[in-house]
Amino acid sequence: MPGLSAYEKIAEPEEIRLLTRLGKRLAGRSFLHVNSTSEGGGVAEILHRLISLFRELGILARWEVLKGNPPFYDMTKRIHNALQGQGSEITPRMWEIHREVNDSNARQIPLEADLVFIHDPQPAALIHHRRDGLWVWRCHVDVSHPQPEAWRELAGHVGRYDAAIFSGAKFAQRLAVPQFVVPPSIDPLSEKNRDLGEQEVREILDGHGIGLDKPLLVQVSRFDRFKDPLGVIAAYRMVKKYHDCRLILAGGPASDDPEGEEILSRVREEARNDPDICVLLLPPFSDRTINALQRAATIVLQKSTREGFGLTVAEALWKSKPVIGGAVGGIPSQIHHGATGFLVHSVEGAAYRIRQLLHNPELGKRMGEMGREHVRRNFLITRQARDYLALWVALEHRGERVIQI
């Protein structure tokens, strides 16, 4: 894995200096992370890299994964949905299972550390086994509109922590404990974001039968209603009357989500008679392909109608692409309308902005450059590492009038 010095050439020098200073201050201290999955998903990917950066700084960073059983995973999926406002019934027995699995894991996992980060709801009940150190609940989910009963149960655990962290102010809930906002980040050196040569990009696209002879509109997303792939096709159709271009919708297969499967088959149906619409079903771990698709794009779309942070936007901006995104979730923090891309509220709006950008490649280029700089300053992993360490120092000095970092 690349070390901190590899990021020195990319991130803001001040950010690296601060990170190093915080590292010196916290060297020799222990920092434990607990979540419920060691791979798959952006959270685990970034955690791998963060742990290695913290270790390089001399911090005794450790990562433990909660072990569950099928009823537990069924239950935590329900919690996940309920916290996002969807109607999943959670019975009292299910909450008991949640607690039992947390209790039995607490007997296996050494929980002693100076700072403990518990990620998401699955291991939240470990707090009842706290012995020492500071405990922080790190929430990656949007809990702004939860089912009240589910939130009440979870808040019973969260209220015992020293603090909670959310990915954005609008994803948070009212809590009795101090709250912090730490947005997610991307790793510029990962397989998904590292530089790729033009030749490599061409070969990867070639491998998928995608020609580069027309402007490419690309959306990389799960096939999910809220990512609005059908809206993207409708916008493309409006544009296609005036501009010859190609649309690529790339995303993971709808694993266990029956609605996702239906969306995918409707997308395929819509795409059937148009050789310029390419629906690409990506297997897990398609990072290099995603990287190439985003780099090959003329315009990247993320036309969501509901969104968490929307990491694909940061990924595309990092590749200097103009991005057209739905004005929802974390997208407006990444797309500054008219500067790093365009925010849209409708199919017509998306079509209008696609046409504008296709007409004016210089504008797209300028936006892409500004987008990359915006991501460089705000959404790289070094910023997230720095935030976590600054938060650690701040929590240890709670109540002091001035906290020197």
What are the start-end ranges of the H helices in 251-286?
258-271
DSSP E strands in 80-184: the ranges are 115-119, 134-138, 163-166, 179-181
Query: Residue 361: what residue type?
Result: P
How far apart are CB 219 and ligand UDP at their closest, in Å? 10
Residue 308 within binding range of ligand UDP, rule CB under 6 A: yes
Q: Which is nearer to ligand UDP, 20 or 37 (CB)?
A: 37
Q: Determine the interface stretch with ligand UDP among 194-202, 206-214, 220-228, 379-387 (rule: CB under 6 A).
A: 220-228
Sequence-separated (6 or more) residues with CB below 8 Å from residue 302 = 219, 221, 227, 310, 312, 313, 316, 323, 324, 325, 326, 331
C-alpha triplet 190, 51, 191: angle, nearest 5° = 10
Least Å from the CB of residue 303 to ligand UDP = 12
Q: Which is nearer to ligand UDP, 140 or 157 (CB)?
A: 140
Decide whether 215 or 308 has the Cβ nearer to ligand UDP.
Answer: 308
Phi, psi at 140, each rounded to 5°: -100, 0
Residue 221 touches ligand UDP, criterion: CB under 6 A: yes
d(CA 132, CA 397): 16
Residue 356: count other Cβ atoms within 10 Å of its Cβ. 15
**Residue 249 C-beta: closest distance to ligand UDP, Å:** 10
Residue selected from 7, 31, 42, 392 as contacting ligand UDP according to rule CB under 6 A:
42
**Number of amino acids touching ligand UDP (CB under 6 A):** 16
The backbone region for 338, taken as left when phi is positive above 0, alpha when psi lies in -120 to 50, beta otherwise, is left
Does the protein bind ligand UDP through residue 68 (CB under 6 A)?
no
Decide whether 95 or 309 has the Cβ nearer to ligand UDP. Answer: 309
Stretch 245-284: interaction string toward ligand UDP, x if CB under 6 A: ------xx-----------------------------x--
Phi, psi of 63 (to 5 degrees): -135, 125
Calculate the CA 207 to chain-centre distance: 27
14 within 8 A of 397, measured Cβ to Cβ: no
Site membership for ligand UDP, residue 290 (CB under 6 A)? yes
Question: Any contact of residue 167 with ligand UDP (CB under 6 A)?
Answer: no
CB 235 within 8 A of CB 354: yes
Using rule CB under 6 A, residue 231 touches ligand UDP = no
- Dihedral, CA of residue 289, residue 280, residue 343 and residue 274, to nearest 10: 140
Alpha helices in 84-219 (DSSP H): 92-108, 148-158, 198-207
Q: Which is nearer to ligand UDP, 102 or 286 (CB)?
A: 286
Q: Closer CB to ligand UDP, residue 19 or residue 220?
A: 220
Decide if residue 120 touches ligand UDP (CB under 6 A).
no
Q: Applying CB under 6 A, does 315 fall inside the site for ligand UDP?
A: yes
Check binding of 312 to ligand UDP (CB under 6 A). yes
Q: How far is the CB of 306 from ligand UDP (least distance, A)?
A: 9
Q: Closest separation between CB of residue 119 and ligand UDP, Å?
A: 14
Closer residue to ligand UDP (CB): 64 or 315: 315
Instruction: Burial-class residue 89 by CB neighbours within 10 Å (0-12, 13-18, 19+).
Output: exposed
Q: Which stretch binds ligand UDP (CB under 6 A): 22-30, 106-114, 199-207, 217-225?
A: 217-225
Q: How far is the CB of 88 from ligand UDP (least distance, A)?
A: 17
Contacting positions for ligand UDP (CB under 6 A): 42, 192, 220-222, 251-252, 282, 286, 290, 308-312, 315
